[in-house]
Amino acid sequence: MRSRHVTRVADYEDDGLEALYEKRNRKAALLKAQEEELQVDPADALPIKTLDGKLQYRIAKKRRSEEKNDDIECASGDKDDDIVRLTKAERREKLKKSKKEAKKLAKQENELDIHAGKLHAEVLEKVQEELSAEEIFAGKKMKLAEIGMALLEDPESNIRSLKELLNICNDKDRNIVKLALMSLLAVFKDIIPGYRIRSPTEKELAMTVSKQVKKMRFYEYTLLSSYKAYLLKLLKLEKQSFFHQVAVRCMCTLLDAVPHFNFRESLLASIVKNISSSDDVIRKLCCDTIKSLFTNEGKHGGQATLEAVRLIADHVKLNDCQLHPDSINVFLSLKFDEDLGKSKRMEDDDKVKKKKRWQNQEGSKQLKGNDKKKSRQELMAKTREEVDADFKAVSFSLDAVEQRRMQSETLSAVFETYFRILKYSMDPSASRPKINAASLAGGVGPHPLLASCLDGLGKFSHLIDLDFMGDLMGCLKKLAGFSEQHQDSGASDQSSLSVTERLQCCIVAFRVMRSNLDALNVDLQDYFVQLYNLILEYRPDRDQGQVLAEALKTMLWEGRQHNMHRAAAFIKRLASFSLSFGSAEAMAALVTLKHLLQKNSKCRNLLENDAGGGSLSGLVVKYQPEATDPNLSGALASVLWELSLLMNHYNPSISSMAVSISSMANLNPDQNPVSLYAASPLQAFVDFSIERELLKPVGKPLSLNQKRKRENREGFSAFSPDQIQLVGSFINEDRVKKKLEDHFKLLRDIRENERFRSELNCTKWSIDLYEEYERQRK
């Protein structure tokens, strides 16, 4: 019986037997290596102690290559797989395959290395680009600074550098372009001369001139061409959102600094176009520039003022009066010289004519004596006229006649704009375009320019031509009653004017009447009726209290002597008005009420407390508070019971004023009481509005003891009016105001300290929470 060893190798020849033994040896070596390659798993490094007290480690196998795994699988297979017959040709082929796979693997590794190298190179390139960009930006900034300093130090020698600065404005970096624009702005502001540059004529170019003249001509030509290119660049960049603000700022600065220089028309056109921009910064910048142009006419002689006013008038016409109110508020900065009288102009003209006549006579005498000098004298006279014309062209000082003409044209353009706005506001049937967002920035309604127009008419009313006074008063009358007429006719609410605008119409009408008192014969009763009704329509959250106070001042406080019935009606209406609104409105009404009582002594009967009214109650009809006409209200049949409530007003000034008005009942008709507050209604409203803002506490008001408030109220009501007046006379109002200001400043400081303390506690809590989280994490 064959042994196992003999059986396993009996069928093999020499070559096969040799290969079989080699295979077995490899198998044994692999099994041994497998046993030696056992290691401790890092995840289970701690050993396990058995009951016997021995330590056991969990072990894991290392990863092996695919070739070893294949060999192990072949070695641990069946009997047929264990016996592999490889010839020399097969071994060579297998070796070739392994070499090919090794080459392929090496190639893949090289490709991975190349790809990683490319990524690394790209990262380095980006970092270098960033570093180089910073260096390039710093270098360009240094270059801009060097060129600018050189131009400011010696502009005549370095005038060619302007073109280099203009080339930098075409840079790809937008921040560099901004810096270049600002650098050019600073340079032009400094080197632009104080005169307009006139291009030389062909005759002047043909003349032989010195080197200094040639140098000056080249300097002026380069400066003018560079300035033109700079303005064209600004106009182009203005259309881009990124450069819009800086371009407008550069143009406004140039127009404000050098309004006399060339290409002023282009700057004005661009600035006027942005005067009603929706951007508050740009709009304010353009308006301030136009106002500076109006107030500083010495820089340009008034010609730029006329051009700006005409451009604004065309802009208003082009946009159908749908602009921001600031667009025409700039007209309020205009100044008109009223001292240029006709007599002075005639005297100046006579002096000029006499001087020319004397020069002509002397010249004719000399020419008769010597005919040879005739041509020479004519040439000198012609040259002198040309020089005078050039001097006049570059000079900003105008004669009286020219200045008067320019002011007349400016005023005509202003009133043309105002009358167009009035006509547009009066026509409700005209097609209304979509209102611009800039015009409605302040919530001014469908007539954004009307309020500003009425302010301007009130300021320049004394300059209006008498031929237009009748039409103007008719327009104002229609506008003042425009809302009620159209509401009765079923018109839409959009066509009605606000209470503030209607009050402004009344104010303008009275100012026009007062400025032209001798030339106008206008019945103002309708305006009094309108004011009487508008007092009831006033709402502090919707209308402007300052305009109402100004109307009371213009129509009642500064007006003529009123008849008794109308004055009594306004006194009663103002007393009722004082109970309904705040301190500012109440004080303005009480100041007007007291002034009316002083001027109309018969109306003091309203202060009597008879059950049937005043002493004149039997002579007038019964009081009708719902009446729309003050003459028909029958206010003389009523009493001012509102003063008894106003004596208990929370504001001591209001209560003192009410006590003072009540004390007028005991005075003789010819006597006038000493006024506690002698200011006008407008000034009273402004003063108490400021006081209300100063005394306004920040945050929620502190809760007070209700029992103490009740005791103070009861104790205050126990005093008589005379005692209250006596106590009020000893009170120092300035001292009280100072104490109140200190008190509320202290309240604000306490409020701020509480807010800071809460923020500090929140920050400390966050830090503690983060430290606790770090401890738990470790």
Domain count, the chain: 5
The mean pLDDT of 515-537, rounded to a whole number, is 78
- The span from the CA of 304 to the CA of 159, in Å, is 28
Are both 328 and 346 inside the same structural domain? Answer: no
Question: Per this entry, what is the length of the chain?
Answer: 778
Domain that holds residue 54: 4-86
Q: Which residues does 30 contact at the CB level (< 8 Å), separation at least 6?
A: 68, 71, 72, 75
- The span from the CA of 447 to the CA of 328, in Å, is 13
3-state secondary structure (DSSP) of residue 464: coil
Q: Are 639 and 613 in contact (CB under 8 A)?
A: yes
Are both 24 and 78 inside the same structural domain? Answer: yes
Are both 346 and 206 inside the same structural domain? Answer: no
The mean pLDDT of 229-252, rounded to a whole number, is 93
**Closest to 420 (Cα-Cα) out of 299, 282, 321:** 321
| Runs of H (alpha helix) within 427-496 | 450-459, 469-480, 482-488
Domain membership flag for residue 684? yes
Tokens representing residue 216 in the block: 């000056």
Average pLDDT over all residues of the chain: 75
Rg (C-alpha) for the chain, rounded Å, is: 48
DSSP 240: S
pTM of the model: 0.65
Are both 161 and 303 inside the same structural domain? Answer: yes
Domain membership flag for residue 534? no
Strand boundaries in 6-147, DSSP class E: 38-40, 48-49, 55-56, 59-61
For residue range 471-482, what is the model confidence (pLDDT) as tens digits?
888 888 888 764
Are both 179 and 211 inside the same structural domain? Answer: yes
Q: Which of 460-464, 560-564, 619-623 has the highest mean pLDDT?
A: 460-464
Q: Are 454 and 502 in contact (CB under 8 A)?
A: no
For residue range 500-510, what is the model confidence (pLDDT) as tens digits?
888 988 888 88
Q: What is the pLDDT of residue 441?
A: 43
Between these two residues, 198 and 233, which has the higher pLDDT value?
A: 233
**Closest to 675 (Cα-Cα) out of 696, 685, 660:** 660
Of the listed ranges 290-304, 385-399, 476-490, 645-659, the least confidently predicted one is: 476-490
Backbone angles phi, psi at 171, to 5 degrees: -65, 155
pLDDT band at 126 (very low <50, low <70, confident <90, very high): low
Do β-strands 59-61 and 48-49 pair in parallel, antiparallel, or remain unpaired?
A: unpaired
On the question of pLDDT at 205 being above 90, the answer is: no
Q: What is the pLDDT of residue 353?
A: 56
Q: What is the pLDDT of residue 93?
A: 78
Tokens representing residue 396 in the block: 């900003």
**Closest to 510 (Cα-Cα) out of 537, 538, 543, 550:** 550
Residue that is written with structure tokens 């706005």 in the block: 421
Are both 304 and 356 inside the same structural domain? Answer: no
For residue range 262-283, what is the model confidence (pLDDT) as tens digits?
899 999 999 999 998 888 999 9
DSSP 336: -
The mean pLDDT of 723-749, rounded to a whole number, is 63
pLDDT band at 724 (very low <50, low <70, confident <90, very high): very low
Are both 327 and 192 inside the same structural domain? Answer: yes
Tokens representing residue 243 in the block: 């450069």
- On the 0-12 / 13-18 / 19+ scale of CB atoms within 10 A, 721 is middle
Plot region of 696 (φ>0 → left; ψ -120 to 50 → alpha; else → beta):
beta
Are both 305 and 186 inside the same structural domain? Answer: yes
Nearest-5° Cα angle at 665, 663 to 671: 90
Domain membership flag for residue 478? no
SS3 content of the chain, % helix, strand, coil (to 5): 70, 0, 30
For residue range 481-517, what is the model confidence (pLDDT) as tens digits?
644 444 444 333 434 688 888 898 888 888 888 776 6
Q: Which amino acid is at 10?
A: A
Percent of the chain scoring above 70 in pLDDT? 67
Are both 297 and 194 inside the same structural domain? Answer: yes
On the question of pLDDT at 680 being above 50, the answer is: yes
Do β-strands 59-61 and 38-40 pair in parallel, antiparallel, or remain unpaired?
A: antiparallel
Between these two residues, 35 and 747, which has the higher pLDDT value?
A: 747
Are both 382 and 305 inside the same structural domain? Answer: no
Backbone angles phi, psi at 40, to 5 degrees: -80, 130
Handedness of CA 62, 63, 65, 69 (dihedral sign): positive
Q: Which of 158-162, 368-372, 392-396 has the highest mean pLDDT?
A: 158-162
DSSP 554: I
- The span from the CA of 248 to the CA of 286, in Å, is 8
Of the listed ranges 57-61, 308-312, 746-750, the least confidently predicted one is: 57-61
- The span from the CA of 422 to the CA of 321, in Å, is 10
What is the Cα 459 distance to its own chain's centre?
A: 26
Are both 724 and 759 inside the same structural domain? Answer: yes
Domain membership flag for residue 471? no
The mean pLDDT of 760-775, rounded to a whole number, is 82
Backbone angles phi, psi at 39, to 5 degrees: -140, 165
Q: What is the pLDDT of residue 341?
A: 42
Residue that is written with structure tokens 């009408």 in the block: 509
- The span from the CA of 306 to the CA of 637, in Å, is 58
Q: Are 332 and 458 in contact (CB under 8 A)?
A: no
Q: Are 509 and 483 in contact (CB under 8 A)?
A: no
Q: What is the pLDDT of residue 128?
A: 62
Q: Which residues does 198 contact at the CB level (< 8 Å), separation at least 6?
A: 390, 393
Of the listed ranges 9-23, 308-322, 469-483, the least confidently predicted one is: 9-23
- The span from the CA of 641 to the CA of 283, in Å, is 51
What is the Cα 693 distance to its own chain's centre?
A: 23
Between these two residues, 358 and 452, which has the higher pLDDT value?
A: 452
Q: Are 681 and 572 in contact (CB under 8 A)?
A: no
Domain membership flag for residue 423? no
Q: Are 245 and 222 in contact (CB under 8 A)?
A: no
Q: Are 576 and 598 in contact (CB under 8 A)?
A: no
Between these two residues, 53 and 586, which has the higher pLDDT value?
A: 586
- The span from the CA of 778 to the CA of 774, in Å, is 6
Tokens representing residue 447 in the block: 């007539």
> E strand or H helix at 599, and its extent?
helix 583-599
For residue range 377-414, what is the model confidence (pLDDT) as tens digits?
777 777 777 777 666 655 555 667 788 888 889 999 99
3-state secondary structure (DSSP) of residue 49: strand
**Closest to 609 (Cα-Cα) out of 641, 574, 569, 567:** 641
Q: What is the dihedral of CA 715, 721, 726, 732, to 10 degrees?
A: 70
Are both 194 and 264 inside the same structural domain? Answer: yes
pLDDT band at 230 (very low <50, low <70, confident <90, very high): very high
Q: What is the pLDDT of residue 314?
A: 93
Q: What is the pLDDT of residue 466?
A: 76
Of the candidates 657, 691, 725, which is a domain's last residue?
691
What is the Cα 579 distance to its own chain's centre?
A: 38
- The span from the CA of 357 to the CA of 360, in Å, is 5
CATH number reported for the structural domain that contains residue 242 in this entry: 1.25.10
Q: Are 484 and 437 in contact (CB under 8 A)?
A: no
The mean pLDDT of 141-147, rounded to a whole number, is 90
Q: What is the pLDDT of residue 728?
A: 47
Domain membership flag for residue 150? yes
pLDDT band at 749 (very low <50, low <70, confident <90, very high): confident
| Runs of H (alpha helix) within 192-302 | 202-206, 211-237, 244-257, 264-273, 280-295
Domain membership flag for residue 111? no
Tokens representing residue 231 in the block: 């303005």
pLDDT band at 75 (very low <50, low <70, confident <90, very high): very low
pLDDT band at 703 (very low <50, low <70, confident <90, very high): very low
On the question of pLDDT at 456 being above 60, the answer is: yes
Between these two residues, 552 and 696, which has the higher pLDDT value?
A: 552
Q: Which of 282-291, 549-558, 699-708 has the highest mean pLDDT?
A: 282-291
Of the candidates 60, 86, 112, which is a domain's last residue?
86
Domain membership flag for residue 678? yes
